[in-house]
Structures are given as C-alpha cells and as structure tokens.
Structure 1
Amino acid sequence: MVTVTHNKLVYITYSILDARGMVVEQHDIPVGFVHGANSGILPAIESAVAGRKVGDRVEITLAPEEGYGLRDESLVFVEELDNVPPQFRRVGAEVLFENESGETKAFYVTSIEDGKLRLDGNPSLAGQSVTCLVNVMDIRDATPEEIRNGRPLDAAPGTMH
C-alpha cells in the first residue's frame, strides 16, 4: 500500500470549519502537492498526512498562527461615511487598496454606525482556531520537475488506487 512520504505527489480534498463547526472553505476538486518539496501547503496539513494512504481522512485543529494568522489591528480603519463612495456604503462591501509598490489588498466593510464606516483588512478567521478535514485522494511518485515546483504538472489526479 502506497503511503504519503517525501517526494510523493499527494492529492487531497479538504474542508475548513470555524469554531462553531460551520464550513467556511471547501475544496472538493483535489488539490495536489509534493510532500516535503516546499509546495506552499500549510506545514500542519503536510505533517498530518505523512504516512497516510489513499482513503484516509485526517482532522487537524489549526491555531491562529498556523492558519489565518493573528488579528492585526493596524488593518482596521474607521472613515466618515460621507467620505466613502456610495457603492461601498454597505456591510460586506469589498474595497481594494493599492500601496506604493502596486500591491493590492482587500478590505471589507464590517460595520456602519453613527455616520462612520469600519473597514477591516484581516481575514475573517484571523485570531481564530479552525478545524481542517483532509481526505487523501491519490498518491503517486512525483517527477523531478514536480519536485522542483512542489506542485503537480497535470491539472487532475491520476487514476484512483
């Protein structure tokens, strides 16, 4: 039986649940990564699937530092409602800001009270622990190029085992 080891290409599906058990993110189309090859996948997920086989399901609790990060209050702004264009005067509106180097960041309107609008650039789950439910869908040997990239070259997993 093939298991997840170094330089194996692993395909997973996963769901992320908030502290109340509500699904906040779900990937039903398999996501591939090369185990141990700096793929960009969260280290806690990579560690949790090590030694697993196709069909295994793993539940992982991620502390804020391992998942969406801690809240950064410097990413919260309060603006006079009159200074905000009408299309952004609603809770949930997304506002994109660009810095001097051309990088953009999304901020969301989180409240409107007393003629003031509050914008928050933190991820909605910042500062919270989340639970990841990970399903191992496929495992195969990675090619040398996939090992260099940390990701699969094909768009879909191979044959299920």
Structure 2
Amino acid sequence: MVTVTRNKLVYITYSILDARGMVVEQHDLPVGYVQGAHSGILPAIETAVAGRKIGDRVEIQLSPEEGYGLRDESLVFVDEIENVPPEFRRTGAEVMFENESGETKVFYVTSVENGKVTLDGNPSLAGQSVTCLINVVDVRDATPEEIRNGRPLDAAGGTVH
C-alpha cells in the first residue's frame, strides 16, 4: 500500500475541535495537497500524515502558533456606530478591508453595543490550542505540474486551507 511521502498527492478529510472538544470546522469532502510542496496545508498536518497509509486516522494537538496563530490586538478596531454602514451593524457581519498594497482582509463584527461596533481581523480560533482529527483518504504519485502547484489539478481536488 502507498504511504504518504514527499511529492505524493494526498487527500484528507478532517475535523478541528476547540479546547472543549466541540467541532468548529469539518471537511467531509476530501482536501488534496502535495506532500512537501509548500501547498498551504499546515506544516504540522503534513508532519502528522507523513508515513501514513490510506485509511489511517491521525489525531494531533496544535498550539496557537502551529494552528491559527496568536491573537493580534492591532487587528481589533472599535468605531462609533454612525460611522459604520447599516449592513455591518450586526454581530457576525463580514467586512472586507483593503490596504495600501491592494491586499484584502476579512474582519468580523464581534460586538455591537453602547453605540460602538467592534471589528476583529483575527481568525476565530487565534490564540487557542485545537485538536485535528485527520483521515487519510487517498494517496498517489503527484504529476510534475501538481508538484509545481502544490495541489491536485483534477476536478475532485478540493481546496487547501
């Protein structure tokens, strides 16, 4: 049976659990990436599935640094509600901001109270340790083009997060 090694195309499904054991993210459709090709998959996940085979299940703990990062308080903004367009005056609203370089970032409204709106650009799990439950669904040799791109080129490739 084929094992996960460098330049293999790997398909996984996974769940992410918070510190209370609650599922906060789940991918039942396989996500594909090329092992060792800087595909965007978390390095800790690549390390955990290295040497595994189809059907293997892996559980790993990720520190904030390995997972969603530490909280960055410079990404939290509070503004007067009258300065915020009405469609963004509700908790959970997504707001896209663009910097001088043209890069965009999503911020979420986390609070609307006392005439103020709080926006947070941190991932919701920033600063938290999480558990990843990973299932190895398929493994095959990656094509040269897949190795260059770090991900599958077929329609069933899923996306890398």
The normalised TM-score by structure 1 is: 0.91
Deviates further, 116-125 or 142-151: 142-151
1:43 offset after TM fit, Å?
Answer: 0.6
Matched, 1:88 2:88: yes
Deviates further, 57-66 or 90-99: 90-99
SS in 2 for 1:151: coil
1:132 offset after TM fit, Å?
Answer: 0.8
Q: C-alpha separation between the residues in 2 aligned to 1:81 and 1:140? A: 53
1:156 offset after TM fit, Å?
Answer: 2.2
Q: C-alpha separation between the residues in 2 aligned to 1:108 and 1:143? A: 39
Measured against aligned partners, the alpha-carbon deviations of 1:62-88 in whole angstroms (never above 9, x if no partner) come to 111111111000011111112222221
Q: C-alpha separation between the residues in 2 aligned to 1:89 and 1:39? A: 37
Q: What residue is the counterpart of 2:50 in the other structure?
A: 50
Matched, 1:27 2:27: yes
Q: Which runs of 4+ in 1 moved over 3 A?
A: none
Measured against aligned partners, the alpha-carbon deviations of 1:38-96 in whole angstroms (never above 9, x if no partner) come to 22211100000011111000011111111111100001111111222222111111111
Unaligned runs of 5+ residues in structure 1 are none
1:19 offset after TM fit, Å?
Answer: 1.2
Q: C-alpha separation between the residues in 2 aligned to 1:86 and 1:146? A: 44
Aligned residues: 157
SS in 1 for 2:146: helix
SS in 1 for 2:36: coil
Aligned-pair Cα RMSD in Å: 1.3
Larger radius of gyration: 1
Unaligned runs of 5+ residues in structure 2 are none
Q: C-alpha separation between the residues in 1 aligned to 2:148 and 2:37? A: 7
Q: C-alpha separation between the residues in 2 aligned to 1:156 and 1:86? A: 40
1:31 offset after TM fit, Å?
Answer: 1.1
Letter in 2 for 1:156: A
1:155 offset after TM fit, Å?
Answer: 2.3
Query: Identity of paired residues, percent?
Result: 85
1:113 offset after TM fit, Å?
Answer: 2.3
Q: What residue is the counterpart of 1:121 in the other structure?
A: 121
Q: What residue is the counterpart of 2:152 in the other structure?
A: 152
